Structure formats: C-alpha cells, structure tokens
C-alpha cells in the first residue's frame, strides 16, 4: 500500500497548519527533516513578523484546525496535567467543550430537517447560542412543550467526511508501519486504528448514544454515586438528541467545588468506585470521562453525586477479558506479581514460552515502588509507560479491545489527582475488588446463576421426560448398530483369515506342481538330480493338485 495523492495533500495541509500557527519547529524536529533544520530559518514565513501567541494557545488552535481526530487526542492529553506543562494543559482543557461552534441557524436547519417540521412544533423555546461545543457536536438549551428543560445535541455538518479522510490516512500509515516496522506485530497498529474508527463512528450516531445513556441510567438506577439524565426519545434522531438538562459544577472547577463545601476526598473515592462498578459489575463503562463531560451535584456535599453527560463512547468487555482483568487487578492490589505474570501468559497477552519467574521479577520492579503512596506522589500514566516498556521486552502484544479501558483509567486518575492528590488509589480500590470477587465466586454468584437460569429450566422441564425417552431410544439404536457392526467386523476378520490360509495353500500347491513339472521335464536331458525323479515329480504334482482343490472356494 502506498500513500494516495489525496493523502499527500492532507499531509501537506497538516504541515501548513503547523506553520500557520508557528509550530514549524515541530516539523523540523522530526527525524526526516532534522538535517534541514538550519534551512528552516531561511524560509519565507520567517522573514515576516508574526504575532506571537503563547505556545499552549498555538497548540490548541492547531488541533482545532486539524479536525475532530486531533481534537480527541488533545482532549486525552488535557486530563494529564502531571505529564504536561501547566500552560499547555490549561489550553488543551478548552478542547473539552469550547471548540469553535457553528452558527445557531445551521443547527436549527439540521434539527428541522431531522424532524421534518418547524422547530416551534417541538420546542417551546430554543437557544441559538450553544451551551457547549465539542469536536463532534454542539449542545443547545431548549424547553419542551410540556415545560421540561432539555438540551439538544446536534452533530456538526459535514463532519463524517472530515473524519473519514483522516481515518484513511491513519489506516495507510498503520498498514505501512505493520509492513515495515519490526515492532508492528506486537503493537497491532491496524487493529488499533480499526478500534478507533469504530469508536468515533459510533460517536457520530446519536441514536446509539441515546441508547448508551438509557442503559447506563438503568445500571445506576437508585444509586447515590452517579446520575444519568433521561433521554427524550421522541426528539432523538441519528444526528439530533434531546436529553434532560442537568445543572452542576464542572468537576475541573476545584475552586467552586470547595466554595460549595463539597467533600473532595469523598468525591475522588466515589470516582474510583464508579469506575470499578462500571467495569467489573456491569462490563459497560463511560469511556469519555474527561472533565468536560462530568459535573457534580452542588446540593450533595458530604456524599457527592456525579452528573455525567456525553455517552457517545462506551466501552465493553467480553467475558474472558472481564475475568482476566478482574483477577489481574486483585493480584496486583495484593502484590501477587507471580499471579499477574501467570494471568498474562494464560490470556495469551505474552507468549506461552515466557519464563514466569523472569516476567514476575520485571513486573515487581515496575510496580513495587508505587504502593503505599498517594496519587499525588505517583503517576499512573508513567506506570503504564513503564509497563509497556517491560511488555516490549517480553513481546507482550497490545490488546486493541482494552484501549478504551486504559484511556478511561488515565482520565479517572487525572481527575482524581486534581480533586484530591492525597488519595490512596490502591487502598480505595482493593476492598471493592475483593468484594466483587467474592460476589462472582461465592454462594451469592451461584444463587444468581440459578435465578438467571430458572426461566429456561421452567420451559425445558415439561419436555424433559419425552427428550429423555428419545435419548434412551437413540442410545439403544446406537447400541444395536454397534452390535451389528461388530458382527460384520468379525465376519470380515474370519474371511480375511480364511483368505490368507487359502492364499498360502494356493502358493504351496503351485510351487509343488512347478517342481513336479521341472523334475519330470528334465529327466533324461540332464544329470539325474534325485533318484526316482519321475516318481517324485508325480507325487509332488499330486500334492499340488490336492492343495489347489482344498483352497478352492466352496460357495
């Protein structure tokens, strides 16, 4: 596969945007252009004085101009203030909900085309000024005819074409990497891009997002941990979604949280519990929990309640990954590094020939220094980076299906670090994991399994006698067929035995007759070999004839 002309143009456009915002040093710092760095100072745009903006602002504007995929990357980075300079992290945080909006009139037109009727027929009021604007869609406040306050989410016009263009470029780069890069087999770049492709196209479908929100709302019905707003289904389409409006404090506004007396320690701990509840109890988790999508109920101070929005990216785990991850986390919290190593081998994440003791020692070296330390003293992002480096040494393969989980874990840790840096992540999570494992493997799990299977047992029980009788008849028929087959095999064996005996007798008879012929034919023409040769020949010939008669079939 080679880069197509359209993709070359896109690469040129990316470089143009970098130059436009004064980030041409990024281009000249790459391995390919490093030898030409000295000539960068002679480029024409260097001759024209440019208004110098702060570097964080230039990076943010560059990502906005490059489109949704680059904005998504900036959103992920924005949650990791421990990994970025403060000025850049602050600017990137604006990508969470302050991406330049498109006109309210365009939004009205999209909604009216989706409903095939005027806006006034559905809403009593509609605010043309968006409440928030992100890379995929923007949100407007509105009021339904029955007086309920809602928000209306509208997908950006033409955004799918832009996304598809950049995804094709990513696929091309990933395919070339997989073909020519030695580490590609372990990192699965094409699979990773495919996973991202699926995720971002799911985010474009607001019907899917509404269904995700409904499921998450059911999962936490009656919970005092998190509140999920209700979807207004009559007003929801593929590119328009209507949802209950919530009011809360942005979780990134720590100053306002403190002013309202929110217990930040409890808030951070509850965030950890929400994460583990979604992942291990439900295997269905909000995978885009950056600060722009999370608010806090201002009226619940000592037992804070999270308010979640934007459910376009939801992660799920298959039963095998679900179980292995749970056991990995529990072994990790118990510092049972040998079990962690064994689970990686059992799951196929590292080659089966890996020495368990060596892998165990490598994991211990990475993980042991972080225990008994608060979140403010460690970096889970740095820990993951070191684990990936260790994994490269042991040929550990990237699991594309777990990328959303890793992204969510980094988001949760980033928010926890901002809320309450003294949080002991391990002490908070360990009791929950132990309780979850008891529920999965203990008597309660058996009872739940029986309760789950009871309806099917009730359907199957009345038919059980008839099915049992048919099964016994089939077994009896099978036994009769086996008996008949055994008799046939015995008969074949007898035939083969008789046949081999006949064959031997025929060969012996033929040999005797040939010997008789030779003795008789050569008598008088050659020196006498045996006294009385003619008589002996006749005797041998007779014996040969008798042997042939004995071997002749009787049927």
CA-CA distance, 11 to 15, in Å (whole number)?
A: 6
Return the DSSP state at 428.
H
Based on C-alpha coordinates, what's the Rg of the chain?
Answer: 39
Q: Is 144 helix (H, G, I), strand (E, B) or coil?
A: strand
Number of H helices, E strands in the chain: 22, 11
Is 241 in contact with 140 (CB distance < 8 Å)? Answer: no
Q: Which residues of 322-333 are buried (b: 16+ CB within 10 A; e: fewer)?
A: eebbbbbbbbbb
Is 33 in contact with 18 (CB distance < 8 Å)? Answer: no
Question: Is residue 59 packed enough to be buried (19+ CB in 10 Å), middle (13-18) or exposed (0-12)?
Answer: buried
Nearest C-alpha neighbor of 163 from the set 240, 93, 19, 66: 66
Between strands 149-155 and 137-144, the pairing is antiparallel
Torsion sign (Cα): 74, 77, 79, 85:
negative
Is 67 in contact with 166 (CB distance < 8 Å)? Answer: yes
Between strands 226-227 and 132-133, the pairing is unpaired
Return the DSSP state at 523.
B
Nearest C-alpha neighbor of 290 from the set 96, 100, 423, 133: 96
User: Would you please indicate which residues are annotated as catalytic (active-site) residues?
Assistant: 288
Is 419 in contact with 267 (CB distance < 8 Å)? Answer: yes
Q: Is 154 helix (H, G, I), strand (E, B) or coil?
A: strand
Query: What is the number of residues in the chain?
Result: 555
């Amino acid at each position: 596969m080679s880069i197509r002309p359209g993709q070359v143009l896109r690469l040129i456009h990316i470089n143009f945007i970098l130059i436009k915002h004064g980030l041409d040093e990024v281009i000249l710092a790459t391995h390919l252009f490093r030898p030409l760095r000295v000539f960068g100072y002679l480029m024409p745009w260097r001759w024209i004085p440019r208004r110098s903006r702060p570097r964080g602002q230039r990076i943010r504007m560059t990502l906005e101009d490059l489109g949704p995929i680059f904005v998504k990357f900036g959103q992920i980075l924005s949650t990791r203030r421990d990994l970025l300079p403060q000025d850049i992290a602050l600017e990137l945080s604006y990508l969470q909900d302050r991406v330049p909006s498109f006109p309210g009139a365009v939004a009205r037109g999209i909604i009216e085309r989706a409903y095939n009727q005027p806006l006034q027929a559905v809403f009593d009021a509609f605010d043309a000024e968006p409440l928030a604007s992100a890379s995929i869609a923007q949100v407007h406040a509105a009021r339904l005819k029955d007086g309920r306050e809602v928000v209306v989410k509208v997908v950006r016009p033409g955004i799918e074409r832009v996304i598809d263009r950049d995804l094709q470029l990513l696929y091309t780069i990933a395919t070339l990497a997989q073909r020519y890069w030695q580490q590609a087999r372990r990192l699965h770049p094409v699979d990773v891009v495919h996973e991202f492709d699926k995720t971002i196209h799911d985010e474009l479908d607001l019907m899917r997002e509404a269904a995700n929100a409904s499921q998450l709302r059911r999962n936490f019905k009656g919970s005092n941990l998190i509140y999920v707003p209700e979807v207004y289904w009559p007003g929801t389409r593929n590119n328009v979604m209507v949802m209950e409006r919530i009011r809360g404090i942005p979780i990134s506004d720590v100053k306002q949280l403190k002013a309202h007396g929110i217990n930040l320690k409890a808030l951070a701990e509850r965030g950890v519990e929400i994460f583990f509840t979604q992942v291990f109890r439900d295997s269905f988790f909000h995978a885009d929990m950056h600060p722009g999508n999370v608010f806090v109920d201002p009226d619940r101070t000592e037992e804070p309640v999270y308010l979640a929005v934007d459910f376009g990216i939801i992660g799920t785990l298959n039963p095998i990954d679900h179980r292995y991850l749970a056991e990995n986390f529990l072994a990790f919290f118990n510092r049972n590094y040998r079990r962690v190593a064994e689970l990686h081998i059992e799951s196929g994440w590292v080659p089966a020939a890996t020495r368990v003791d060596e892998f165990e020692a490598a994991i211990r070296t990475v993980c042991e220094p972080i225990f008994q330390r608060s979140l403010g003293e460690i970096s889970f992002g740095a820990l993951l980076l070191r684990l990936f480096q260790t994994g490269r040494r042991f040929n550990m393969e990237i699991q594309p299906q777990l990328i959303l989980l890793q992204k969510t874990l980094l988001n949760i840790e980033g928010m926890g670090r901002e809320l309450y840096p003294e949080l002991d992540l391990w002490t908070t999570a360990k009791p929950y994991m132990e309780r979850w494992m008891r529920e999965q493997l203990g008597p309660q799990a058996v009872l739940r399994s029986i309760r789950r299977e009871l309806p099917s047992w009730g359907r199957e029980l009345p038919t059980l006698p008839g099915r049992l009788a048919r099964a016994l008849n089939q077994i009896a028929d099978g036994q009769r067929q086996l008996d008949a087959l055994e008799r046939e095999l015995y008969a074949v064996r007898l035939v083969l035995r008789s046949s081999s005996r006949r064959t031997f007798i025929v060969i012996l008879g033929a040999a005797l007759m040939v010997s008789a012929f030779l003795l008789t034919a050569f008598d008088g023409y050659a020196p006498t070999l045996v006294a009385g040769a003619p008589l002996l020949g006749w005797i041998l010939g007779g014996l040969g004839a008798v042997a042939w008669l004995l071997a002749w079939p009787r049927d």
